[in-house]
């Protein structure tokens, strides 16, 4: 029998996924689940064919310059691949895959949770009771929020996740607008009752909520920058379940502090140099709702992501085209491409 392919998995995965990987592959797991340095990953990879990476691994050009010759595939556990220099990977003769689709619906659900949480004062309502341990009781003007129905939603990036958000948002009575690299066919636009905008500046200035669903590539860095934020409607709101780098966070904070924007609901924000204290202050004042990169964090999605990684690895090892190959010309230029 041929020996099992050697793989390195950089982070802990659900037990059922690791168990299946252990039967199919000669797998090295990261029992401590600590984010590993590039040197540690490179050392572990010696003689291995596949790296199962995730967002916490920085796989840049320097990494691919040093990656052992035995390594042929980077199988990302995740949809976003902004931690990988895709061009450098292919230039070094490697293939890159990801795990799209299986996290689409859960991520879209979280976008709706966030979109509703702020205007319907979800976090504030809970915190109040925890703080006071007491409630005076209902009154007609108690905790009035604002309704979502009838408002307009501007989706930036109408791919799988953006489309799933549009479907949900329709059911909540929102009017759907979108900007996207690729305009969707008329049948899809009709089904979603979505209005396409070729001009992002114009769309951003016309909607009540801007929600980001584009990957972080070279073209999307701070796609919601200071100028666009300044163009947004009075009392408009921002939702982000994608990547922090899509927003000029300082400018966002300023627009909320100035009471131009009503707030933001963010699953992603800068944290590596510390979470912005002004952002936290706005969260304390219930102008901002923060969750910490949880949009796809369901057990079901994580298991399916693991299964998708396995499907990609097996196809690749068997000499077939892995089903979820990431190609720079389709995905967009990697943010790290020079
Ligand atoms: C994960 C994600 O938390 O898939 C993505 O792009 O952001 C999340 O599903 C993480 O990236 C796993 O690597």
d(CA 304, CA 145): 37
pLDDT tops 60 at residue 281: yes
For ligand 1, atom 10, name the residue with the nearest CA.
78
78 touches ligand 1 (CB under 6 Å): yes
240 touches ligand 1 (CB under 6 Å): no
Could you tell me the fold of the domain covering 104-290? Rossmann fold (3.40.50)
According to DSSP, residue 49 is labeled S
Domain boundaries, given as residue ranges, for the chain? 6-102+299-331, 104-290
80 touches ligand 1 (CB under 6 Å): yes
333 Ramachandran zone, left/alpha/beta (phi>0; psi -120 to 50): beta
Tell me the pLDDT band of 218, cut-offs 50, 70 and 90.
Answer: very high
> 96-150 pLDDT, tens per residue?
999 999 999 999 999 999 999 999 999 999 999 999 999 999 999 999 999 999 9
Q: Give the pTM.
A: 0.96
Atom of ligand 1 nearest to the CA of 77: 13
Atom of ligand 1 nearest to the CA of 243: 7
Arithmetic mean of pLDDT, 194-213: 98
Same fold, 6-102+299-331 and 104-290: yes
Residues in the chain: 338
Arithmetic mean of pLDDT, 198-211: 98
Q: Let me know: does 96 contact 89? Beta carbons within 8 Å.
A: yes
Joined together, the tokens standing for residue 224 give: 């919601």
Bigger pLDDT: 2 vs 116: 116
10 touches ligand 1 (CB under 6 Å): no
Arithmetic mean of pLDDT, 202-215: 98
Q: Let me know: does 37 contact 17? Beta carbons within 8 Å.
A: no
Atom of ligand 1 nearest to the CA of 107: 9
Tell me the pLDDT band of 160, cut-offs 50, 70 and 90.
Answer: very high
Burial of 295 from C-beta contacts in 10 A (0-12 / 13-18 / 19+): buried
Instruction: State residue 237's pLDDT score.
Output: 98
Atom of ligand 1 nearest to the CA of 99: 4
55 touches ligand 1 (CB under 6 Å): yes
Instruction: State residue 286's pLDDT score.
Output: 97
Angstrom distances, CA of residue 93 to CA of 78, 85, 96, 312 = 21, 13, 10, 17
Percent of the chain with pLDDT strictly greater than 70: 99
Angstrom distances, CA of residue 179 to CA of 165, 208, 240, 264 = 14, 15, 15, 19
Instruction: State residue 50's pLDDT score.
Output: 98
Residue with tokens 């300082």: 250
Residue with tokens 């040197």: 39
Instruction: State residue 338's pLDDT score.
Output: 56
pLDDT tops 90 at residue 89: yes
Instruction: State residue 336's pLDDT score.
Output: 81
100 touches ligand 1 (CB under 6 Å): no
Could you tell me the fold of the domain covering 6-102+299-331? Rossmann fold (3.40.50)
293 touches ligand 1 (CB under 6 Å): yes
Joined together, the tokens standing for residue 9 give: 């998995």
**Cβ count within 10 A of residue 297:** 15
For ligand 1, atom 1, name the residue with the nearest CA.
78
> 40-63 pLDDT, tens per residue?
999 999 999 999 999 999 999 999
Its ipTM equals 0.94
Residue with tokens 């972080």: 216
> 182-192 pLDDT, tens per residue?
999 999 999 99
């Amino acid at each position: 029998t041929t020996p099992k392919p050697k793989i390195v998995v950089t982070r802990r995965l659900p037990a059922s996924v690791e168990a299946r990987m252990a039967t199919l592959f000669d797998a090295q797991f990261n029992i401590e689940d600590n984010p590993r340095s590039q040197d540690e990953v490179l050392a572990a990879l010696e003689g291995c064919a596949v790296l199962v990476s995730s967002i916490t691994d920085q796989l840049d050009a320097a990494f691919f310059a040093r990656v052992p010759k035995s390594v042929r595939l980077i199988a990302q556990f995740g949809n976003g691949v902004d931690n990988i220099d895709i061009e450098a990977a292919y230039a070094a003769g490697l293939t890159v895959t990801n795990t799209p689709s299986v996290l689409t619906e859960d991520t879209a659900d979280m976008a709706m949770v966030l979109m509703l949480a702020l205007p319907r004062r979800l976090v504030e309502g809970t915190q109040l009771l925890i703080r006071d341990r007491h409630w005076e009781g209902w009154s007609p003007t108690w905790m009035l929020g604002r309704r979502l129905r009838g408002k307009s939603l501007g989706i930036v990036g109408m791919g799988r996740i953006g489309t799933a958000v549009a479907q949900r948002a329709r059911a909540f009575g929102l009017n759907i607008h979108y900007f996207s690299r690729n305009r969707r066919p008329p049948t899809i636009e009709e089904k979603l009752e979505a209005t396409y905008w070729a001009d992002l500046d114009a769309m951003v200035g016309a909607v009540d909520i801007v929600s980001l669903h584009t990957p972080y590539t070279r073209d999307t860095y701070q796609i919601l920058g200071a100028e666009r934020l300044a163009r947004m409607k009075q009392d408009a709101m921002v939702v982000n379940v994608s990547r922090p780098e899509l927003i000029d966070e300082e400018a966002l904070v300023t627009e909320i502090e100035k009471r131009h924007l009503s707030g933001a609901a963010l699953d992603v924000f800068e944290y590596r140099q510390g979470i912005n204290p002004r952002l936290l202050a706005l969260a304390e004042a219930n102008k901002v709702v923060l969750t910490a990169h949880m949009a796809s964090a369901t057990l079901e999605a994580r298991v399916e992501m693991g299964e998708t990684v396995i499907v990609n690895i097996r196809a690749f090892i068997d000499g077939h085209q892995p089903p979820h190959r990431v190609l720079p010309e389709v995905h967009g230029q990697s943010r790290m491409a020079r």
